[in-house]
Amino acid sequence: MLLVFIVGDMLGAGIYTLVGEVGAEVGGAIWTAFALALVLAILTAGAYAELTTKYPRSGGAAYYVNRAFGVPVLTFLVTFAVMASGIASASTLARGFGGDYLGAFVELPVLVVALVFIGLVALVNYRGIVESVRINVAFTAVEVLGLLLIVVIGVVAVASGTGEPARALEFKPGGTVPGLILAGAALSFFALIGFEDSANVAEEVVEPRRAYPLALFGGLAVAGVLYLLVTFTAAMVVPTERLAGSSSPLLEVVQVGPLSGIPDRVFSAIALFALANGALINMIMASRILYGMARERVLPGAFGRVDERRRTPWVAIVFTTVLAMLLIATGETEDLASTTVTLLLFAFVFVNVAVLVLRRERVDHDHFTVPRALPVLAVLTSVGLLTQREGDDFLRAAAFLVLGLALWLVNRRATEVEPADAPGAGGAAGTTNLPPE
């Protein structure tokens, strides 16, 4: 079940929208960028495997950073960065939803569709977690079928001689191969995020020491193999220039590939399910993190309010939806994906340092241990990917963190003057939602 959770969290949305963007960075050898991104994801996954089996409780990056450093403001910024990455990711997928995949059914302005779409996602989120999870399970099955269809097209193209495998080995002229692959990996990393969410369910896993690493690395392997097959197929079947200029690159594969009998609308519908699923997962995660921080008195208490009937954190849902709408209105798909990666890389740097710092702590049970060199490599590669970001990516990420810091300071000032016997005054100002045990 954990393996399915991890695979479902990673698969689909990024690959449906970013193949063309990565092709524009790398050339026909799109799969090389995804391969490097997979290696970098595995490095950071090693840190999560050790920390999650050592401290099998929910909280993820925030808990590990807080336990390692004990600095409330740093823990808060890492937590807020993870929350903001979910909003940026959902915004990316919302713009992808309004692109050519929807164009197979109706032509509408991308911005209008994206804004309406994120509003509908908010309504599902407000409706309740049970309904959201049911939709997630169904949509995950659909998006996996879509990727398997692309793989089948690749197999048929090779068997029939209609594809051009040599094109999948070509790099964009005018740059060095390592530089092109790194630039592409910095963007394609977006398609591999999601594995870190599994740390939040480790508390409910039977024998996490045995099950969690297998599910984590197994999930990365399943997603990675599918992504490599899909990107190789896309480059082999469709000219790179056409992929790079499309907002629905995998639809181009279906149209040009040897299985031309597949209706455009069928595959477009599959892609729309995938985009909707990814956006819903990210907005649920973002609103719940905001709600959790408010419940622990790290953010203003208003974010902790829940609807009396639906029992969902409606203020947090409204706030995260407004932020998503602002991002949708001010950024293109590639820009928003880059912002997502920037925020997560910031968190990953601290998680990988935390695993080294916490080596000095001993626990009374066996746990997975990653070789010391891997977290060091993960820090270096995360910083390396950050150097590939544009100035606008850092500005958007910084704007999120400044907003979060402002909310944290406002809440801290309010709780400092709150009477000691006020309801809920037991938590100290500035404490994190996941204090050390």
How many angstroms from the chain centroid is the CA of residue 236?
Answer: 27
The length of the chain is 437
Rg, C-alpha atoms of the chain: 21
Average pLDDT of span 213-225: 91
Enclosing H/E stretch for 341: helix 333-357
Residue 129 has pLDDT above 70, yes or no: no
Q: Is 90 exceeded by the pLDDT of residue 120?
A: yes
Question: For residues 38 and 431, which has the higher predicted lDDT (pLDDT)?
Answer: 38
Tokens of 149: 């269809």
Buried b (16+ CB within 10 A) or exposed e, 324-349: bbebbeebebbbbbbbbbbbbbbbbb
pLDDT band at 369 (very low <50, low <70, confident <90, very high): very high
Class of residue 316 by CB neighbours under 10 A (exposed 0-12, middle 13-18, buried 19+): buried
Phi first, then psi: give them for residue 71, nearest 5 degrees: -110, 105
Name the band, by pLDDT with cuts 50, 70 and 90, for residue 225: very high
Rounded to an integer, the average pLDDT of 100-129 is 87
Write the DSSP symbol of residue 368: -
Residue 200 pLDDT class (50, 70, 90 cuts): low
- Kindly report the pTM of this predicted structure: 0.80
Rounded CA separation 272/101 (Å): 7
- 116 vs 126: CA distance, rounded Å: 15
Comparing 415 with 117, the larger pLDDT belongs to: 117
**Integer Cα distance of 61 and 38 in angstroms:** 20
Residue 427 pLDDT > 60, yes or no? no
- The average pLDDT across 383-403 equals 88
Of the chain, the percentage scoring pLDDT greater than 90 comes to: 29
Burial class for 426, CB neighbours closer than 10 Å (0-12, 13-18, 19+):
exposed
pLDDT, position 13: 63
Q: Are 331 and 91 in contact (CB under 8 A)?
A: yes
Q: Half-sphere exposure (CA, 13 Å, Cβ side) for 345?
A: 28
Angle (nearest 5°) at CA 177 between 175 and 183:
75
pLDDT higher than 60, residue 423: no
pLDDT at 138: 79
Tokens of 21: 């963007």
Residue with tokens 């896993």: 205
Mean pLDDT lowest among 26-40, 161-175, 272-286, 337-351? 272-286
**Structural domain boundaries of the chain?**
2-416
Residue type, 105: F
E-strand stretches of 107-184: none
Q: Name the strand (E) or helix (H) holding 171.
A: none
Lowest-confidence range among 100-114, 184-198, 227-241? 184-198
d(CA 129, CA 3): 20
Rounded to whole angstroms, the Cα distance separating 199 from 434 reads 13
To the question of domain 2-416 being in CATH 1.10.760.10, the answer is: no
* Of 7-21, 65-79, 195-209, minimum mean pLDDT range: 195-209
Look at residue 109 and tell me whether its pLDDT is greater than 80: yes
The DSSP string of 38-104 is: HHHHHHHHHHHHHHHHHS-STTTHHHHHHHHH--HHHHHHHHHHHHHHHHHHHHHHHHHHTSHHHHT
The candidate with the shortest Cα–Cα distance to 430, out of 67, 76, 65, is 76
Residue 172 confidence (pLDDT): 92
- What is the full DSSP assignment across 140-153? HHHHHHHHHHHHHH
Pull the structure tokens for residue 34.
Answer: 């995804």
Mean pLDDT, all residues of the chain:
84
By percentage, how much of the chain surpasses pLDDT 70? Answer: 91
Q: Which residues in 2-151 belong to E strands, given as ranges?
A: none
